[in-house]
A and B are shown apart, each in its own frame.
Chain A
Amino acid sequence: MSLLNIVNLSKKFSTINRQVTALSSITLAVEEKEFFVLLGPSGCGKSTLLNLIAGLEQPSGGEISLGATIFSSRAKRIHIAPRDRNIAMVFQNYALYPHMNVAENIEFPLKIRGISKDKRVAMVLEAAQMLELDKVLQAKPGELSGGQRQRVAIARAIVRKPSLFLLDEPLSNLDAKLRASTRNNLKLLQKRLGITTIYVTHDQVEAMTLGDRIALLNNGHIEQIGTPQELYNNPVNHFVATFIGSPPMNLFTLNVTFNNNQYGFIVNGTKIELPDSLVKQIKKTTQTILLGVRPENIEIKPEPSKDSIEVTVTGIERLGRETIIYAVCESVSVSLISSNLVPQIGEKVTIVLDLFKAHVFEKPKSDVN
């Protein structure tokens, strides 16, 4: 059985003139010792979900339970206060107590829980050493660097050995270089301590590198839950497909035609047939589909061939090892990654889509893109 279970959770906010649904029918399970990431664009409800798990807000419906303990349940009229949940949380702005020094900050949760002074000192020291804070124990948060503050926040969270460790965009206030190394350390720390962790972020790179599993949220509901590889390789819809991966997956809206027992489409005079693996995913009734091809699955060919498409290059981003190329063809833009051939802007090149690695999605009813 999973450690944290969330069943059919919903949250509505009421303002003076309207009701806003922040979350609806959220169901997920987090395994023991798992690093679970809640990923999504801003305003998707991921932070609200974290607050609900922490008990800082009450759900409008559904249930949250940790092991055998019900944390919140609308139907059973149960709501356990955050202080009784034995959870720890790291906030985006760290929320360090400005009037206490580092040692007092880390000690605070222990003190409130009435742990004896001797034990407290030992635990604070242990946590501080683990995060390399033992030299700044007497400093106030205002005197620390961003990275140090962030580590104090983590030390304060892990010092009391919580059953659940919640992090709300903890890296977003660090500069890029520090972010990468902190990410690494965080993952190591989590594995070493074996604390079940839920991590909120809007950054798909963070999610992919940190998470054992990821739940991708959008507009208050879960689009897909799975390992980073599953989300990358088998996105269930176009939202997941474009959210994960950088530069994002190319999506082409196509009118497919059926002929000679083959589905195909025509671009710029070239007739391209879809392989059977994709055809199987298309419902017979639909004519308009979204074809998704990742930039790395598009190749520039020096010579035109039967299934190549001619495009005009509009932009180039050199990243060193590889180059991102932006191009258009009949007002449809496309991005691709090339590691050897680098054309000039305005140049016409021929490209080939690797359709065996492509995806087909249903066109959404209201066009979100």
Chain B
Amino acid sequence: MRENLLERMLFYTGLCVTFVFILAPVTFMILMSFSKNPDFLGQSFNFTIRHFYEIIYTRSLHFPEYLANSLIVSSISALISTAIAGMGAYAFTRFNFPGKFILLVGILALSMFPQISIVGYLFRIMAGVGLINTRTGLVLPYTAWVLPLSLWILISYFLQIPGELDKAAYIDGCSPLKTMWYVILPVASPGLFSTLLLAFIFSFNEFMFALMLTTDQAARTVPVGISLFQGLHGEIPWGSIMAASTLTTAPVVILTLVFQRYIIQGLTRGALKG
């Protein structure tokens, strides 16, 4: 009984510390975005929505363009990479070919490459084909970059679908492609959804490629925009930066909280192979 109490005390202490540690920075961000003055701690808090108005309506800040770029680039990258990974996972789990295992391990290793080891040369390739500072120039590397992870997650989902289902589809008159389309993909739809979500979030949060491959609002994404956000007059405009951060964070966090189950599944499968 006494031990049970100790266990509970430990749990609730841990819980409180976790809540505070996780939520304090987020709360601070939100408060700052609504505060007239940045030094409200220990002083009076004056509510304003001026910062939000500023970042949305000040043309020279280009925040809406950045946000649009981010959303478009991440959505397209997520869709393409999930589609390609779906096909690849089907090939890996349903067909035999020599070198399959080596190829799979190779792709897994690719996903662990540091971005810095390709960003320099990628810049040259993109410059060579005139894709610097275009959305396409971001969609391409993003798609390739999240592909190994997407593939890995989907393979773990596809492996759980019994092979009898494929056989039944073959006998019912399906070609391999029809089997994939009518049977495997629909059955794996929760997995496809997790993959799509993760690919979107990874692309949305990406920084180094976007920093290297974009030059202005034509393709620049929110993370780059916010990192370079210096304001118009000397002093760092914390209110505006935090307003932009709040606006950017909101869709990702809402998406994450609503689809929590899918994200956790995707993450653990990606890392641990289900």
| Stretch from A91-99, A263-271, A274-282, A355-363 that touches the partner | A91-99
One of B165, B167, B173 near A97 (C-beta < 8 A): B165
Q: Within 8 Å of chain A (Cβ to Cβ): is B168?
A: yes
CA A156 to CA B183, docked complex, whole Å: 15
Instruction: Kindly list chain B residues whose C-beta atoms are within 8 Å of the C-beta of A156.
Output: 168, 172
Q: Within 8 Å of chain A (Cβ to Cβ): is B164?
A: yes
CA A93 to CA B168, docked complex, whole Å: 11
The answer to whether A95 touches B164, judged by C-beta atoms less than 8 angstroms apart, is: yes
CA A13 to CA B249, docked complex, whole Å: 54
CA A87 to CA B174, docked complex, whole Å: 13
The tally of residues in B whose CB lies under 8 Å from a CB in A reads 18
Q: Give B135-166 as 1s and 0s: 1 = Cβ < 8 Å from A's Cβ atoms.
A: 00000000000000000000000000010110
Q: Give B166-207 as 1s and 0s: 1 = Cβ < 8 Å from A's Cβ atoms.
A: 011111111100100011001101000000000000000000
Q: Within 8 Å of chain B (Cβ to Cβ): is A222?
A: no
The answer to whether B167 touches A98, judged by C-beta atoms less than 8 angstroms apart, is: no
CA A97 to CA B165, docked complex, whole Å: 7
* Given A97-B187, A113-B173, A56:B182 Cβ within 8 A: no
Q: Give A37-55 as 1s and 0s: 1 = Cβ < 8 Å from B's Cβ atoms.
A: 0000000000000010011
The answer to whether B162 touches A93, judged by C-beta atoms less than 8 angstroms apart, is: yes
**B162, B171, B182, B183 pick with most chain A CB within 10 angstroms:** B171
One of A54, A81, A95 near B162 (C-beta < 8 A): A95
The answer to whether B167 touches A56, judged by C-beta atoms less than 8 angstroms apart, is: yes
Instruction: Kindly list chain B residues whose C-beta atoms are within 8 Å of the C-beta of A113.
Output: 173
Q: A51-B167, A83-B173 are in contact. List 16 more A-B contacts (CB 8 A).
A: A54-B171, A82-B171, A83-B170, A83-B171, A83-B172, A83-B174, A91-B168, A92-B164, A95-B162, A95-B164, A97-B168, A97-B183, A98-B187, A99-B187, A109-B171, A112-B173
With both beta carbons as reference points, the residue of chain B lying nearest to A93 in the complex is identified as: B164
The answer to whether A109 touches B187, judged by C-beta atoms less than 8 angstroms apart, is: no
The answer to whether B168 touches A95, judged by C-beta atoms less than 8 angstroms apart, is: yes
One of A56, A93, A97, A99 near B170 (C-beta < 8 A): A56
With both beta carbons as reference points, the residue of chain B lying nearest to A166 in the complex is identified as: B171
Q: Within 8 Å of chain B (Cβ to Cβ): is A125?
A: no
Closest 7 CB pairs of A and B: A109-B172, A95-B168, A95-B164, A112-B173, A82-B170, A83-B173, A99-B186
The answer to whether A95 touches B174, judged by C-beta atoms less than 8 angstroms apart, is: no
One of B162, B167, B178, B186 near A112 (C-beta < 8 A): B178
The answer to whether A91 touches B167, judged by C-beta atoms less than 8 angstroms apart, is: yes
CA A112 to CA B167, docked complex, whole Å: 15
With both beta carbons as reference points, the residue of chain B lying nearest to A99 in the complex is identified as: B186
The answer to whether A91 touches B164, judged by C-beta atoms less than 8 angstroms apart, is: yes
B265 to chain A, nearest CB (A): 18
With both beta carbons as reference points, the residue of chain A lying nearest to B172 in the complex is identified as: A109
18 contacts between A and B (CB under 8 A): A54-B171, A56-B167, A81-B175, A83-B171, A83-B175, A89-B167, A91-B164, A91-B168, A93-B162, A95-B165, A96-B168, A97-B165, A98-B187, A108-B172, A109-B173, A112-B178, A113-B173, A156-B168
Q: Give A64-106 as 1s and 0s: 1 = Cβ < 8 Å from B's Cβ atoms.
A: 0000000000000000011100011101110111110000000
A15 to chain B, nearest CB (A): 12
* Given A93-B164, A95-B162, A108-B182, A87:B173 Cβ within 8 A: no
The answer to whether B168 touches A89, judged by C-beta atoms less than 8 angstroms apart, is: yes
CA A317 to CA B273, docked complex, whole Å: 49
One of B162, B171, B175, B186 near A87 (C-beta < 8 A): B171
CA A350 to CA B193, docked complex, whole Å: 73
CA A91 to CA B164, docked complex, whole Å: 7
CA A113 to CA B171, docked complex, whole Å: 11
One of B171, B175, B183 near A89 (C-beta < 8 A): B171
CA A54 to CA B167, docked complex, whole Å: 9
The answer to whether A112 touches B174, judged by C-beta atoms less than 8 angstroms apart, is: yes
CA A81 to CA B176, docked complex, whole Å: 10
Instruction: Kindly list chain B residues whose C-beta atoms are within 8 Å of the C-beta of A56.
Output: 167, 170-171
With both beta carbons as reference points, the residue of chain B lying nearest to A56 in the complex is identified as: B167
A69 to chain B, nearest CB (A): 16
With both beta carbons as reference points, the residue of chain B lying nearest to A88 in the complex is identified as: B171
CA A54 to CA B189, docked complex, whole Å: 29
With both beta carbons as reference points, the residue of chain B lying nearest to A90 in the complex is identified as: B168
B237 to chain A, nearest CB (A): 51
The answer to whether A112 touches B172, judged by C-beta atoms less than 8 angstroms apart, is: yes
With both beta carbons as reference points, the residue of chain B lying nearest to A89 in the complex is identified as: B171
CA A277 to CA B165, docked complex, whole Å: 53
Instruction: Kindly list chain B residues whose C-beta atoms are within 8 Å of the C-beta of A51.
Output: 167
